[in-house]
Amino acid sequence: MARVRKERELKRSRITVIGEGLTERWYFEHLRTLEGYRYDCKPRFFAHQSYEEMCKLIDWVTRNGGIAVCICDADITRTNEERNKRFQEMKAHYAKDDRVYICDSMPSIEFWFLIHYMNTRKYFKDSDAVKRVLRKFIPDYDKTGPFLEKISWVADMCSDDRLKDACKRAALLGPSNESYSEIYRAINLFSETIPKEKQD
């Protein structure tokens, strides 16, 4: 009974996606359109921001009764001890809050995109290293508005059960792997908000 109550509460709660930049913003806007997910995805929630600023946005969302999904790259934590400390503090702070989902990717969101096409545990030094491999599958991939604004690149990633495959692969990797993505947790959450008639 408690689980049913929690699911009902989830479906009533407003989900807000918070991200670091244009790539995240356009990916989640297109994903919402293609998959019928229900969440807020506004430009003002996507900017190059500090962890402190992210926390302020997360707290604003939860104070207003919502669920916050925070999407961020973890690559900087490999080389910047102070950023790593702040990031780990942020994750620990919200670890027991079931209204907050910290969905980081190492080294970047491009790794999440890549595992739609291939199953890999490979170590990638940085985002550029991932993008070089990703362009084998999305030749025109570019982190600029003219490319990102097109829905076709996300539509391709969602086709042929690739989104499901990416979720399975990411779940098996886990954050202990040298390259990983926790974005599958957000996808699982979004899937619970789809009206039943659309799932059938």
d(CA 153, CA 36) in angstroms, rounded, equals 17
Tokens of 22: 């244009």
Residue type, 70: C
DSSP 21: S
Rounded to two decimals, what is the model's pTM? 0.89
Q: Where are the domains of the chain?
A: 2-194
d(CA 67, CA 171): 21
19 bridge partner residues: 46
Report pLDDT digits (tens) over 163-199: 999 999 999 998 888 899 999 999 999 998 776 444 4
List pLDDT tens digits, range 115-141.
999 999 999 999 999 999 999 999 999
Closest C-alpha to 17, from 9, 7, 5, 25: 25
